[in-house]
Amino acid sequence: MTDPHQPATSPGTDQGDIERRAALAEALGKEVWPADRDQLIAKAQEGTPADRVLSDLQRLPAGQQFENVQEVAQALGLGTEQQRF
């Protein structure tokens, strides 16, 4: 029997990953996409991002376009929700 009070997170996703992805999403907003690493860093620096957000963005591969926060999280090795079929 499933506990109805358990968080609805996918296997392979932990609370730390969720919090990091949420911080990235908050720092980047919705209007920046698609964007590469440098554009994402510049966008984050328009606000007052946490040091962790900037260090995560600096780890992204140069020259790669990202369509959304999910792709950024995957590139950083964060656990992400799996697509449902």
> What is the per-residue pLDDT across 3-62, written as a single tens digit (0 to 9) for each?
444 444 445 557 889 999 999 999 999 999 999 999 999 999 999 999 999 999 999 999
The reported pLDDT for the residue numbered 5 is: 44
Return d(Cα 71, Cα 14) in angstroms, integer.
17
The reported pLDDT for the residue numbered 41 is: 97
Secondary structure of the chain as H, E, C letters: CCCCCCCCCCCCCCHHHHHHHHHHHHHHCCCCCCECHHHHHHHHHCCCCCHHHHHHHHCCCCCCCECCHHHHHHHCCCCCCCCCC
Which residue reads 């964060």 in tokens? 78
> What is the per-residue pLDDT across 64-82, written as a single tens digit (0 to 9) for each?
999 999 999 999 999 765 5
| Reported confidence tier of residue 1, pLDDT bands at 50, 70, 90 | very low
> What pTM was estimated for this model as a whole?
0.78
Return d(Cα 7, Cα 48) in angstroms, integer.
29
Tell me the one-letter amino acid at 3.
D
The reported pLDDT for the residue numbered 4 is: 47
